[in-house]
Amino acid sequence: MTKEKISILYVDDEMNNLISFKAVFRIKYNILTAISGEEAIKILRNNTVNLIITDQRMPQMTGVEFLESILNEFPDPIRILLTGYADMNAVIDAVNKGKIFHYLSKPWNEDELDITITRAFDVYKQKMNEREITNKLSLSNDQLEFLLRQKLLS
């Protein structure tokens, strides 16, 4: 069985960061990049994404604002926030509003980011597995209720 590549959307307003990220991780992961929150939303609507990594400080929409804005439409991807500034309010907002999994400072350390991606994907897989089990249990419950009703009516 072929192992599917982790699909990552990296959002940053600096083109050099997007290029660097893709150059470092493109062999190991399926990398999608966006230069803004608006472009990222378009990408999310057309692609399956497991993880979202976003810069905090961007012009039209901060990373936290972006993550918060997509929660209802795209609740599944695991979120990681990057910022070059020690802005504790941004971190608190990211956790409370954007539901981030992890916060990393820029410039990112390749090994640390790679480990974080692996851990985040493990959480993603667990979340998807739990959803599948819940759906199967719900279906089984519905079937049992139907059989019980049938037995009570006969």
Domain 7-153 fold is Rossmann fold (3.40.50)
**Run of H or E including 141:** helix 110-153
* pLDDT at residue 101 in the model: 87
Tokens of 8: 């990552």
pLDDT tens digits for range 61-107? 988 899 999 999 999 999 999 887 666 666 666 666 657 888 888 88
Distance of alpha carbon 48 from alpha carbon 25, whole angstroms: 18
Tokens of 1: 């069985």
* pLDDT at residue 2 in the model: 43
